[in-house]
Amino acid sequence: MNIEQIGESVRVLASFSGGSAEPLQFEWSGRVYPVSAINGRWIDRGGEGYSLHFSVQVGEETYFLHFSSVQVQWWLDQVVVP
Amino acid sequence: MLRSTDRLIVHVDVDAFFASVEQLLVPSLRDRPVIVGSGCIASCSYEARASGLRAGMPLSQARRLCPRAVVLEGNYPIYRCFAEHVWEVFRRYATGLETFLDEAYGDATGMEAVHGSPLELGRSLQQAVRAEVGLPVSVGLASGRMMAKLASGSAKPYGVAWIRPGQEADFLAPLPVKKLPGVGGRTAERLHDLNIQTIAQMRRLTRQTLRCMFARRGDALYDRCRGIPDESALSRQAPPLPKTISRETTFHQPTSRNEELRGMLEYLTERAVRTARGKGLRAGTVELSIRYDDWKQDASAASLEAPTDRDDEVFALVLRLLDRLHKRRVALRHVGITLSNFTRDRGEPALFDLPVGSLPAGGRAGCGLRIAERGARNAERKKPTDLSVSVERQEFPERSAPPRDRSNLYRALDAIRDRWGHSAIVQGESVNLLGELKQNDYGFILRTPSLTK
């Protein structure tokens, strides 16, 4: 298993509804990654604002994304390749 | 059948917490042995436990026993977020929650009208956590805290158990004595010496015998082995004073650099003292523990005459303890601060915290602070040796702000950190850690954060 730290801002197509968010696909380095499943999610309320974190599945690979409410920006944190 | 007057205490324990979070977030880890920890196992999945792995086991031994295990350092801020989510769900089922990192107690007395029988409540809670958070929990229900914890332990993994009122003694009877809270390795050994293996056999000992064997603890053990509920658990009175608040960590690389050591100690001190302040407590005793790179360890404690909730007073003492302890020319791999001997902060100024003008002439002169220190060379866990040391507190210059203002300063820092995160302000020698350690809103990301709460 290979874990790669990324830490780059990404463009995400997401659905915000009923107080929850769901990333549907994201664009990173010019390529579009369709989300096939959301493995888990958590909210980090430490500090200013909050961050919505997601572990999402794209094929065999797992991507960690988060949305920062202060920056109003999505970030790709890490990729796990089995 | 539960009568409406019967107390119902619920204990929720997240199964293999850290490993379960990792398996939830990375599907390729599911059904595989997963270890979280560095140096030793902090948590391992049930697949790893099948190979004999247990929390606390050194990683070298774990790798020998289970070479295919995936070892992860872990991400403790994420685990904390998941725990908060689990307790959010738990609050819908019980009141007065007392939460720890991976377990919590709550009072569900009188909730049967809303959630049904205790077993239905437990199953509903378990399913809600699974659906909303994604983690497996075991739930124990009983009339007391101790029995609820034993019930959840018996139901693991992913089970629900209810010990009906009046059946506590039957539940306990066949269990080995070591299962009883308060019976550790040495206590169990002493009981085994009397050929007492099970809790049923332990009940044959009279209260007087247990008192003779274990002093004051004997009374508690006498009640516990009969399943008599701990009445202090979740009572509506003020919570009991905690015995200790500790913060400790292992360095990413063993170090003997003075600025790194002092920076880390100041950081751990401010975290521990902030926790104490948050609970309205003043610490009376400070202990410093260190572990060298060759695993030899040492500890020393000092008691202040006046309990304090100020970082600077505690840190000054920590530095004196460090001078006393760190004598070998070997790098340190682990340091820890423990505060104890707490008193409640009632908001009354101590005599020497009063403004300068309110003291009689000469009142500030010679206000020495006597500190009784006890050193404990515990490489072999020797009994601490009593030493008495007198440490003079520096006099404050006439123009300096009175100490009470410093307390207000720390409270202001706490308010800022509560709102903007602990990392919003880095104080004192902790600045030495900037650039050395990563930070998030909770503070510096330590290799092994303190798991105590």
pLDDT tens, residue order, chain B (453 aa): 556 568 899 999 999 999 999 999 999 999 999 999 888 899 999 999 999 999 888 899 999 999 999 999 888 889 989 999 999 999 999 998 988 889 999 999 988 888 999 999 999 999 999 999 999 999 999 988 889 999 999 999 999 999 999 898 899 999 999 988 888 888 999 999 999 999 999 999 999 999 999 888 888 899 889 887 655 444 444 556 778 888 888 888 888 888 889 999 999 999 899 888 888 889 999 999 999 988 888 888 998 878 888 888 999 999 999 998 888 888 998 899 999 988 887 655 555 554 544 444 443 333 333 333 333 334 343 433 333 333 344 444 444 445 556 778 888 888 888 777 777 788 888 887 877 777 766 677 776 654 433
Q: Is A80 helix (H, G, I), strand (E, B) or coil?
A: strand
Does B231 reside within a domain?
Answer: no
Residues of A in contact with B29 (CB under 8 A): 1
- CA-based nearest residue to B58, from B435, B66, B267: B66
Question: Which residue on chain A is closest to B85 by alpha carbon?
Answer: A42
- For residue B172, the enclosing domain spans 168-224
Hey, is the C-beta of A36 within 8 angstroms of any chain B C-beta?
Answer: no
CATH of the domain at B218: 1.10.150.20
Do B209 and B319 lie in a common domain? no
**Looking at the partner chain, which of A47, A55, A60 has a beta carbon nearest the beta carbon of B421?**
A47
Does B2 reside within a domain?
Answer: no
**Looking at the partner chain, which of B25, B26, B441 has a beta carbon nearest the beta carbon of A46?**
B441
Do B27 and B172 lie in a common domain? no
- CA-based nearest residue to B141, from B99, B96, B108: B108
Do B101 and B210 lie in a common domain? no
Domain C-terminal end among B145, B162, B179: B162
- Distances in Å between the Cα of B162 and the Cα atoms of B150, B217, B327 are 10, 27, 53
Does B401 reside within a domain?
Answer: yes
User: For an interface test with A, which of B14, B26, B68, B442 has the most A Cβ atoms less than 10 Å from its Cβ?
Assistant: B26
- CA-based nearest residue to B366, from B398, B397, B395, B400: B395
Hey, is the C-beta of B77 within 8 angstroms of any chain A C-beta?
Answer: yes
Strand B103-107 relative to strand B95-99, pairing: antiparallel
Do B204 and B252 lie in a common domain? no
Cis bond before residue B360 (omega within 30° of 0): no
Residues of B in contact with A48 (CB under 8 A): 419-421, 441
Do B380 and B424 lie in a common domain? yes
Contacts 24+ apart (CB under 8 A), A30-37: A33/A58, A33/A63, A34/A58, A37/B27
Does B156 reside within a domain?
Answer: yes
Do B148 and B88 lie in a common domain? yes
CATH of the domain at B88: 3.30.70.270
pLDDT at B317: 92
Do B196 and B319 lie in a common domain? no
Do B54 and B119 lie in a common domain? yes
Does B237 reside within a domain?
Answer: no
Do B71 and B215 lie in a common domain? no
Domain C-terminal end among B138, B162, B186: B162
Instruction: Give the rounded distance of the alpha carbon of B33 from its chain centre.
Output: 27
pLDDT at B358: 46
Domain C-terminal end among B113, B141, B162: B162
Interface touch A53/B21, C-beta < 8 Å: no
Strand B385-391 relative to strand B369-376, pairing: antiparallel
| Beta bridge pairs of residue B306 | none
Angle between the N-to-C axes of helices B258-278 and B403-420, in degrees from 0 to 180, rounded to the nearest 10: 90
Do B173 and B267 lie in a common domain? no
- Sequence-ordered strand ranges (E) for B324-420: 332-340, 343-344, 369-376, 385-391
Does B123 reside within a domain?
Answer: yes
pLDDT at B46: 95
**Looking at the partner chain, which of A46, A57, A62 has a beta carbon nearest the beta carbon of B421?**
A46
Contact B202, B177 (CB under 8 A): yes
Q: Known catalytic residue: B98?
A: no
Residues of B in contact with A1 (CB under 8 A): 26, 28-29, 70
How far is Cα B130 from Cα B118, in angstroms, rounded to an integer? Answer: 18
CATH of the domain at B266: 3.30.1490.100
DSSP-assigned letter for residue A31: E
Do B216 and B255 lie in a common domain? no
How far is Cα A15 from Cα A24, in angstroms, rounded to an integer? Answer: 7
Digit-coded pLDDT (tens) for A20-40: 899 999 999 999 999 999 999
Q: What sections of chain A are H helices per DSSP?
A: none
Do B220 and B127 lie in a common domain? no
Does B340 reside within a domain?
Answer: yes
Hey, is the C-beta of A49 within 8 angstroms of any chain B C-beta?
Answer: no
Rg of chain B's alpha carbons, rounded to an integer?
24
Q: What sections of B292-445 are H helices per DSSP?
A: 311-325, 403-420
Q: Which one is catalytic: B22, B103, B266, B270?
A: B103
How far is Cα B131 from Cα B88, in angstroms, rounded to an integer? Answer: 13
- CA-based nearest residue to A12, from A24, A2, A30, A4: A24
Hey, is the C-beta of B82 within 8 angstroms of any chain A C-beta?
Answer: yes
Contact B29, B23 (CB under 8 A): yes
Q: What is the ipTM of this complex?
A: 0.94
Backbone torsions φ then ψ of B390, nearest 5 degrees: -105, 125
Say how many domains are in chain B: 3
Instruction: Tell me the count of A-B CB pairs closer than 8 A.
Output: 56
Does B209 reside within a domain?
Answer: yes
Instruction: Give the rounded distance of the alpha carbon of A12 from its chain centre.
Output: 8
